Chains A and B, each alone.
Chain A
Amino acid sequence: MKIDAQILFEALGDLDEALLEEAHDTDDQEKLKLLKKETKKIIFVFTPYFKRITAVCVSVAIIIASVITASLVDDINFKVVNNHTSNKTSSNEQPSKEESDNVFEDVTTSENSENNGSNASSSSEAQSSSSPSSNNNSAPSSKPSSSVTQGGSSSSSSSSSPSDNTSSDEDDEKTTIKSLDEVNFYAAKKILAENLTVMSSNNPLSTVQTVTLDQDKIYYYEIDRDTKITISMVTYFTITLSEPNGFLAQKLGGTGVVEVVITSNSLDNMITFKRGEHYYSCLWNFTSYGTGGNVFGSIAFSTHKYIEGFNLVENLEQENYQFFVYFEGSNIARVVCERYGQSDTDAQYSPDSIKVNDEKCTIKFLREVVTIDQLEAFIVNNAFKKNQA
């Protein structure tokens, strides 16, 4: 092929818009520094030849990591349980807070106490399902017993109940954010709790960002404590799962009430499900706009793209479920789980049976920047306020 400089120059005019936008938007030194930080990523491009081998290795590594993590979590929970038990005498006299004032209300714990039939994968989950009103309760995520009727407690993601008498080391364990699931969840809770200024919009879905992950690549984002994540849309609601073998139920350690947040942020559009100690997040697949009836539109999230620690992962080898969240104005009309690409006989899980609990949800559009440090401070501050009440 023969070309000249003119042709090369013209061909450069056809660079991808995303590249041009990136260069245009990075118009000063600070933004360039931020870009360099954000794009420190390891991209593995899988050739067809190595794809299966690498998928097997990744799966084995995940299993080993899960086993190690589970044993570590058991150790941590044991310490927390003991500490929580020793502080029960002071906590019993605390008045219960109004449910609406407590952003760390775990609406799932007591209501799910009968729904932990299927593999409670961690001892903490089993403990939180046992009698929450007992002073000797070994439930690291339980509130003081006087407020149990509202549904138990959940504080931070590493979740023991916050207490005035805990040591600083145990405070660190309680409030340390360990995954992007927790970042997403507590960022949403913080924003909604602080009742920040809302950008008006007639179209609740108009500011949803679109991000495409390239096929066959796994992206590792280096998120550190200073990484600024910009949130542009946030919503919160709760659902009830009823299928024990459902994909989500299995990920979350059981059925029952689950808290849900959806955010549009600078990493991706994410949905995070939280049930007690368990989190599961998956990423945006597409947005559609309703054409008839009362349904305004929907956002679909795919389990092929999920969060693992601080990584956003695309793994086409696993079963694919999609969660369709249908909006109707400021309400969540319904949430539907569907399975793709696998027959019933081959599938390991079932599609989840989901009921939306709330008639209304709050959808906010804004531009709020959060960091992990801020979220952990928010968790600690709110726990502290709760204890003061």
Chain B
Amino acid sequence: MEDVKIIEMLFDRQEKVLELISSKFKNLYKSVIEQILDDKQDVLECENDVLLAVWNSIPPNRPNSLAAYICKLARNISINKYKYNKRAKRNSGYAVVLDELGECIPDKSSKNDYNDIAEQKEIKTILNDFVKGLDAETRVIFIRRYFYLESVSSIAKRYKISENAAAVKLYRARNKLHKLLEEEGIVI
């Protein structure tokens, strides 16, 4: 079923739409959740929370891309759950992603802490501009890795490139991001 029709059903408050969303997008948002949380019960809870969040947020929201919107919700819900449980999932996909992203942040001292709303908006803008500035292939790979939490080997298989090629593209993108954050004065 088309996303437009699903959104219309949400606006009409037809409850069966949740089944449709689950059947269409479950694999997608479940894979995102499972990259962040290791406990099966937590994963199941988050899956249900995602559906509830979709129901509660549409309307008034009317996303252009339902898949991307649901993934955002799944990601945020999982991160909140992770923080709440304070569990570290070692050697998991999520931990590896955090380690990789840690390389992007310059290691210099700074006086300011990241708790200002204006600064939050600033880094979001910086990241959006950075990602938009990447070439198409790198952009797609970068987002699949750091938003959808897809593994490097899965990305390589999907686009029929070597794992090394995918890893190099990501490495170069992280280097670029590192330089950019350094120029913007954003540090660890």
Decide if B112 touches A2 in the complex (CB within 8 Å).
Answer: yes
Residues of B within 8 A of A194 (CB): none
Query: Complex Cα distance A60/B132, Å?
Result: 31
A39: chain B residues within 8 A (beta carbon): 135-136
Contact B123 A21 (CB under 8 A): no
Chain A nearest Cβ from B95, distance in angstroms: 10
How distant is A7 from chain B, measured CB to nearest CB, in Å? 6
Chain A positions within 8 Å of B136 at CB level: 32, 35-36, 39
Q: Could you tell me if A1 and B65 are in contact, using CB atoms closer than 8 angstroms?
A: no
Which residues on the B side are within 8 Å of A68 (C-beta)? none
Bound together, the chains give a CA A21 to CA B132 distance in angstroms of 13
Determine if A20 and B65 form an interchain contact, defined as CB atoms under 8 angstroms apart.
yes
Q: Which of B123, B132, B143 contacts A20 (CB 8 A)?
A: B143
Take A1-B114, A15-B147, A32-B140 as given contacts and tell me if A9 and B64 are in contact as well, using a CB distance cutoff of 8 Å.
Answer: no
- A1-30 toward B: CB 8 Å interface, digit per residue (1/0)? 111111111111111111111111011110
A12 lies within 8 A of B185 (CB): no
Q: Which residues of B contact A210 (CB under 8 A)?
A: 64
Query: In the complex, what's the smallest C-beta–C-beta distance from B103 to chain A, in angstroms?
Result: 9
Kindly specify which of B10-18, B40-48, B51-59, B71-79 makes contact with the partner chain. Answer: B71-79
List of A residues within 8 angstroms of B137 by Cβ: 32, 35-36
B170: CB under 8 A from chain A?
no
A28 closest partner in B (C-beta) = B158
- Any chain A CB within 8 A of the CB of B124? yes
- Contact yes or no, A32 B68, CB < 8 A: no
The one of B64, B122, B132, B159 in contact with A17, judged by C-beta atoms closer than 8 angstroms, is B64
Tell whether, in the assembled complex, residue B112 and residue A9 are in contact, meaning their CB atoms are under 8 Å apart.
Answer: no
Question: B117-153 interface mask toward A, CB cutoff 8 Å, 1 = contact, 0 = none?
Answer: 0011011100110011001110110011011100000
User: Cα distance A129–B101 when bound, in Å?
Assistant: 68
Question: In the complex, what residues of B have CB within 8 A of residue A8's CB?
Answer: 101, 104-105, 123, 127
CB atoms of B101 and A14 under 8 A apart = no
Q: How many residues of B contact A (CB 8 A)?
A: 51
Instruction: List, in ascending order, chain B residues with CB within 8 A of A206's CB.
Output: 4
A37 (CB) vs chain B CBs: closest residue: B136
Q: How far is the CA of A215 from the CA of B113 in the complex (A)?
A: 34
The A/B interface has a contact count, at CB < 8 Å, of 132
Residue of A nearest to B185 (CB): A1
Q: Quick one: closest A residue to B82, CB to CB?
A: A6
Q: Are A13 and B98 in contact (CB under 8 A)?
A: no
Q: B91 near A: Cβ within 8 Å?
A: no
**A21 and B147 in contact, given A2-B114, A3-B188, A29-B159 (Cβ under 8 angstroms):** no
- Knowing A13-B79, A32-B140, A39-B136 touch, does A5 contact B102 (C-beta < 8 A)? yes
Asked if B67 CB lies within 8 Å of chain A CBs, one says yes
Complex Cα distance, B65 from A4, in Å, reads 29
CB contacts (< 8 Å) of B119 on chain A: these are 1
Rounded to whole Å, the gap between the CB of B123 and the closest CB of chain A is: 5
Would you call B27 an interface residue if the criterion is a C-beta within 8 Å of the partner chain's C-beta atoms?
no
CB-defined contacts of A36 to chain B, threshold 8 Å: 135-137
Point out the residues of chain A lying under 8 angstroms from B50, CB to CB. Answer: none
Q: Does B167 contact A (CB under 8 A)?
A: no
Bound-state Cα–Cα, A141 to B113, Å:
71
User: Does A5 lie within 8 Å of B158, measured CB to CB?
Assistant: no
Complex alpha-carbon distance, A73 and B80, angstroms: 65
Q: Is there a chain A Cβ closer than 8 Å to B186's Cβ?
A: yes
Q: Give A11 to B97 CA distance when docked, in angstroms.
A: 14
Q: Is the CB of B64 within 8 A of A21?
A: yes
CA distance A19 to B129 in the complex (A): 11
Q: Are A20 and B140 in contact (CB under 8 A)?
A: no
A8 to B100, CA, bound (A): 11
For A7, the chain B residues whose CB sits under 8 A away are 114, 123
- Check A207 for interface membership: any CB of B closer than 8 A: yes
Choose among A1, A2, A13, A207 the residue that contacts B147 (Cβ–Cβ < 8 A): A13
Question: How far does the alpha carbon of A33 sit from the alpha carbon of B122 in the complex, in Å?
Answer: 33
CB pair A23–B139 under 8 Å, yes or no, is yes
B6 within 8 A of A: no
- Is B85 in contact with chain A by the CB < 8 A criterion? no
Residue of B nearest to A39 (CB): B136
Nearest 7 CB-CB pairings of A with B: A20-B68, A21-B65, A23-B143, A5-B102, A5-B101, A5-B98, A39-B136
Instruction: Provide 19 A-B residue pairs closer than 8 Å at the C-beta atoms, listed in order of the A residue.
Output: A2-B112, A5-B98, A8-B104, A9-B79, A11-B120, A12-B146, A13-B79, A16-B128, A17-B72, A20-B67, A22-B140, A22-B143, A23-B139, A23-B140, A23-B147, A29-B159, A29-B160, A32-B136, A35-B136
Given contacts A3-B187, A21-B68, 16 further A-B contacts (CB under 8 A): A1-B112, A4-B102, A6-B98, A7-B114, A9-B79, A9-B98, A11-B123, A11-B124, A15-B127, A18-B64, A19-B143, A20-B72, A23-B144, A24-B28, A26-B140, A32-B136
